[in-house]
Chains A and B, each alone.
Chain A
Amino acid sequence: MRKHFGLTRADIILLAALLLIAGLGFARLPRVLGQNAVVRVSVDGASYAVLPLNVDTTLEIDGYSGGHNTLRIENGRVAVIAADCPDKLCMAQSEPLIVCLPNRVAITVDYE
């Protein structure tokens, strides 16, 4: 086993395990850092709602001229899960900015 800088099998397993633990930590760092982040919803330029990013909720948004969008906040991610606008572009977008032009809805995430 004296090759690769004299690393043994146990060395490699230890190194891989520690790298994995560090990697997992880095993967959940955005969510930890986002604990004070807020989701701002505006309709036609006026503030409609401000929600914490770290609380899972669903919000019905009454958009401009009778349009509707359904906002879902889950696991620190933001998405529009339903919309009655014709193009449904908003449902394909994600944070930090989601815009629905027909309903004049803007959703932004502030990581402060």
Chain B
Amino acid sequence: MSKRIAALGITLALCVAASYVEFLLPPVLPNLPGVKLGLANCVVLVLLYRYGTGFALSVNVVRCVIAGVLFSGIWGLIYSLGGALVSFTAMAALRKTKRFSVLGISICGGATHNMAQLAIAALVLNNAATFSVLYAPLLLAGLCAGVLTGLAAKLLLERLPW
């Protein structure tokens, strides 16, 4: 139990640190807001494999709240929480099928995360046109981010002793 509590604290801190690093970096594509690597999702992926769905979900939700309050404000918090919940559900579901590798699960997570955030934005702005223009580039960006974080998570899972 105490080992799990320690792991919870450490990985949560790691997620917030990852979000902070991304917050410091300049935007990848200045005219496409919200395109980023999603390093924290790499931590969440490792947790999903090593500690299970419940543990990973708790870390995911709490890190969104902490990073949202610290770096991006209430609206940023709503977007990141929405994206995180949808992508986490998709990733956990794919993992349950046992047909996908970490890489596939991560790619799905990246893509669904961006699509969920875009859907929230379209709902808030009440503007479906935004959705139709932005969905292709954001989907592609999510795919690329998913490949990169998935590769990182794969390497971590192969090497981490715990």
Contact of A8 with B139 in the complex, beta carbons under 8 Å: no
Q: Are A11 and B136 in contact (CB under 8 A)?
A: no
Is B104's CB under 8 angstroms from A5's CB?
Answer: no
CA distance A15 to B151 in the complex (A): 14
Interface: B4 (CB within 8 A): no
Q: Does B125 contact A (CB under 8 A)?
A: no
With A6-B154, A33-B133 already in contact, the answer to whether A14 and B107 are too (CB < 8 A) is yes
CB of A7 closer than 8 Å to a CB of B: yes
The interface bits of chain A over 19-58 (1 if a CB of B lies within 8 angstroms of the residue's CB, else 0) are 1011111100100110100000000000000000000000
Tell me whether B132 and A14 are in contact (CB under 8 A): no
Known contacts A22-B136, A29-B133: A11-B103 contact under CB 8 Å: yes
CA distance A21 to B154 in the complex (A): 26
Interface size range of chain A in the complex:
20 to 34
Interface of A is mostly: helix
Decide yes or no: A5 and B103 within 8 Å by CB, A21-B139, A32-B129, A32-B133 being known contacts. yes
Supposing A8-B100, A11-B101, A32-B132 touch, asked if A22 and B151 sit within 8 A by C-beta, the answer is no
Residues of A with Cβ closer than 8 Å to B?
5-11, 14-15, 18-19, 21-26, 29, 32-33, 35
5 interchain pairs, CB-CB under 8 A: A6-B103, A8-B100, A10-B100, A23-B136, A25-B136
> Which B residues lie at the A interface, using CB under 8 A?
94, 97, 99-104, 107-108, 111, 129, 132-133, 135-137, 139-140, 143, 151, 154
